[in-house]
Amino acid sequence: MPGFALFLFSLLQAAPALARDYDTYRSDYFKGAFCTAIGGACAADNDLVSGLFQNPAALATGEPDWDFDGDYASRDIAEQGVNGTSGAVDSSAVGGIGYSTGRWGAGLAFIWRRSSVNSPTTLVEDNGKTINTTLYGNAYSAQIRLPVAYHFDNGGSVGITFSLNRQDQRLDLIDPSEAVQNQPSSTELRFTVGGLMPISEKIRLGTWFRSGVTLADYIAFTSTSTGFVSYKETFSQHAPWIWALGAAYEASPSWTLYAENDLIGNTPQGYLFTYSNFSASPPASALVEKGRSVVFEPHAGARHSFNEKLGIHFGSYFENSRWEKVNGRIHGTAGVSYQFGKLVEVIAGADVARSYTQLFFTFR
């Protein structure tokens, strides 16, 4: 037991810091459209698609089933407290397929994301020369997810997901005399474990835990004409651990209510990650501490079926800022789904908050 406790404790800690740790967690990360539409409150959702992206236990709930999912979402990526002076576009595509025998369930899913930013940047070369330029950044992240689940005779189920994570930075400066050197991020493994348990005919509890992951990177701005180094940094991008606990209530054949609370781990040496950080050397004045403590994020949502084809989904959640002197913001989410024939259901909706909009569309 002491050895297991030490292993579990090590999983909850941030990875060893490199030159600098950046905390990249956002509570508005795309969770799949059917989960996003109910405010992300799907820890206790027994929909097979939720097993692909959130709680893997939903892949095996006692009945033979299969499902597929393909989602697209686009959002503005300014965090609360960050002004929108820099152009920013963020888009996500996710997809997957899952199958359950009733006793066992398994799936294969992917999450792909592209973030594009342009940011005014001031560089100071080794000889003291100041260069005002614009930094164009494109970050590409990819995740392959392999969930499996098992259903018990008492109605409960457990599951685990292994995910392979990678992120690459592609940066350019508007000044052609400046060159950017960038090292692709490392590829790292992350896991999620979860469980579902019905406690009555109408009430179901769910929980999942996702380990943290840290990706290493390197960046340097160098003058191609003089050879002077304007900026260089080895850094890590840290996504903290998450523990979610939720409940679902089948209020009637047409109404289901959801509630969830997430605990988000800390990044003890973390800073807010923006491309303006890669600026004048040393850049300490531009850095903002982020993720220094564990925070909570409550979620709530509901689904209503008008008939076998048409349904509405809505919810709300609190996005904690994770950095000092800035308050979080409340999101409202909604979506409308429609069943075409027997195989394809589509949903379109939005996630809206102060200075923020995310639009999403999916079919399954």
Handedness of CA 142, 72, 23, 262 (dihedral sign): negative
Query: Residue holding tokens 């990819």?
Result: 142
321: region left, alpha or beta (phi > 0 left; psi from -120 to 50 alpha): alpha
The reported pLDDT for the residue numbered 78 is: 67
Q: Are 42 and 63 in contact (CB under 8 A)?
A: no
The reported pLDDT for the residue numbered 85 is: 54
Q: Name the DSSP class of 341.
A: T
Q: Are 214 and 261 in contact (CB under 8 A)?
A: no
* 181 C-beta neighbours (distance < 10 Å), count: 12
Q: Are 223 and 257 in contact (CB under 8 A)?
A: no
Each of the 364 residues of the chain gets a pLDDT tens digit; together they read 344 333 333 333 333 334 788 898 988 888 888 899 999 999 999 989 889 999 999 999 888 988 888 888 887 766 766 665 556 778 889 999 999 999 999 999 999 998 888 777 777 766 777 777 788 888 888 999 999 999 999 999 999 999 999 988 888 887 767 778 777 778 899 999 999 999 999 999 999 999 999 988 888 877 776 667 677 788 888 999 999 999 999 999 999 999 999 999 999 889 888 777 776 555 545 688 899 999 999 999 999 999 989 999 999 999 988 887 788 899 999 999 999 877 788 899 999 988 888 888 888 8
Query: What is the DSSP code string of 292-330?
Result: -S-EEEEEEEEEEESSSSEEEEEEEEEE---STT---EE
Q: How far apart are the first and last CA of the chain?
A: 44
- Give the contacts of 281 (CB within 8 A, at least 6 positions apart): 123, 124, 230, 231
* Architecture, CATH, for domain 2-114+143-167+189-273+281-363: Beta Barrel (2.40)
- Give the contacts of 2 (CB within 8 A, at least 6 positions apart): none
Residue spans of beta strands (DSSP E) within the chain: 21-23, 65-75, 87-100, 104-124, 130-151, 157-173, 178-183, 187-198, 203-210, 213-223, 229-239, 242-250, 255-264, 270-272, 295-305, 310-319, 329-340, 344-353, 356-363
Q: Are 91 and 107 in contact (CB under 8 A)?
A: no
pTM: 0.88
